[in-house]
Amino acid sequence: MQFIQQYQKGLTSSNSYILTIALILFSFVVGNTVSLGIIQWFDLDLFDVDSSVDKNLTLLLLLIPFIFLLSTLMLCIKYIHKRPVLSLFTSRERFDWKRFFLSFGIFGGVLTVSLISAIFTGVNVRWNFNATTFIPLILVSFLILPLQTAAEDALFRGYLFQGLGRLFKHAGISILISGILFGLLHVANPEVAKLGYGLLAFYILSGIFLGIITHMDDGMELGMGYHAVNNIFAAVILTNDWQAFTTDALFIDQTPPEFGWESILTLIVLQPLLILIFARVYKWENWKQKILRKM
């Protein structure tokens, strides 16, 4: 059974989807309420660049709602849809960590090479290592941040992707709609406010890319590895003062906000190349049948 058809393993009534979506939204609101409660209780100003608030605490508070979302979604899959939680992530008998770490390693290597190239070509990048803040950042980023990316992946490339497959019986439509919804999720990000709504096209196309590799590989492992290393790199290795995660990373990018050439190359070169690499490694076949034809 294809990944997009995993919904068939459990209840598929409209009521089960309505209830699950309502509970997911409610849990996310509860998570935000918890974070806001902590912020108000301690009178924190998380978005003041000159604030003395610990940036690791800021990062943790931003991630709390996603932990609520992921936990609720998995419980809904198990107890409302009455199907295995694993079916939300992959069609395989077990989660394939080799796929996850292959994608994690390849894109992590690309990001590292890009950073080294930027440093040696004179891009305004400042060394920012501070052991006191960096070690806690490592713990938060590697233990908690993957839960945030897993929550987004499970919701958009898992639950909604499969639910749209049930509704439209067409993978291409599911990939497109889930990609658009994933892009719109980022509309409130501070980088969108800095660069404009055109940046949403980057998130939408990236969501479509993740949808393609998820569908062709019949599991989210490759997409989850890509997404996780992207966010971990942005939190631990290279950050700036205008993106969603402003941390005490190893390097601070001090260039003015811009939609740079690296983002364009990611869309038109890197992501298509990764699709070709994964297709070769995992012998993906029947592209037209899997994506363009009705199921």
CA distance 272 to 267: 7
- How many other β-carbons are positioned within 10 Å of the β-carbon of residue 160? 19
Domain extent listing, the chain: 3-292
Per residue in 237-272, pLDDT tens?
Answer: 999 888 887 899 999 999 888 887 888 999 999 999
- pLDDT over 80 (residue 51): no
Q: Mean pLDDT score of the chain, rounded to an integer?
A: 93
Orientation of helix 221-236 relative to helix 131-143, angle to 10°: 160
Structure tokens of 71? 């936990």
Residue that has been written with the tokens 């440093």 in this structure:
119
Q: Hey, what amino acid is at 135? A: I
Buried b (16+ CB within 10 A) or exposed e, 43-66: ebeeeeeeeebebbbbbbbbbbbb
Distance, in Å, from the CA atom of 287 to the CA atom of 229, rounded to the nearest integer, reads 27
Tally Cβ neighbours within 10 Å of residue 186: 18
Residues 201-221 have a mean pLDDT of: 97
pLDDT tens, position by position, 167-210: 999 999 999 999 999 999 999 888 888 888 889 999 999 999 99
Determine the Cα–Cα distance for residues 181 and 51; give it in Å rounded to an integer.
33
Average pLDDT over residues 44-54: 56
Q: Using one digit for the tens of pLDDT, what is the confidence trace for 96-129?
A: 999 999 999 999 999 999 999 999 988 899 999 9
**The predicted structure's pLDDT at residue 52:** 47
